[in-house]
Amino acid sequence: MVVFINFLEGFFYTMAEVVQEVKKAEKDAKEIVEEAEETKKERISEAEQRAENIIEEAEENAEERRQSELKSFKDELEDEKNDILEDAESKASNVRSKASRNEDDAVDFLMEKFEEEFLG
């Protein structure tokens, strides 16, 4: 009977150890799951922040490009305007020159006609 009692004591002691080990394993597993959840949340947060940074950078780059293209377009328009003004000034100068010559010719013509009619 002593042997049986020793056996039972060993059995219950072993069962207590097994129960303790199971409880410890469950606690460890719970901690691992909690750590994994926390790591997951941190990674998601970091990914969201990186995505926001990428979007912000893309928006800044788009604005810089828009400003650059707008400046280029304005410069092209200014060059075209200057070319048009230059051409118009040249044409106006030619017209003034022709008008001045025509005026001199008209005065000479009128003087000739006047002289023919009234002087001789």
- Segment 37-62, tens digit of pLDDT: 999 999 999 999 999 999 999 999 99
CA-to-CA distance for 71 and 77, rounded, in angstroms?
A: 10
Q: What is the DSSP string of 33-94?
A: HHHHHHHHHHHHHHHHHHHHHHHHHHHHHHHHHHHHHHHHHHHHHHHHHHHHHHHHHHHHHH
pLDDT band at 27; cut points 50, 70, 90: very high
Instruction: For residues 6-35, give the mean pLDDT.
Output: 78
CA-to-CA distance for 44 and 49, rounded, in angstroms?
A: 9
Q: Above pLDDT 70, what percent of the chain?
A: 85
pLDDT at position 8, please? Answer: 52
In the predicted structure, residue 19 carries a pLDDT above the cut 90: no
pTM over 0.75: no
When the pLDDT of each residue in the chain is averaged and rounded to a whole number, the result is 86
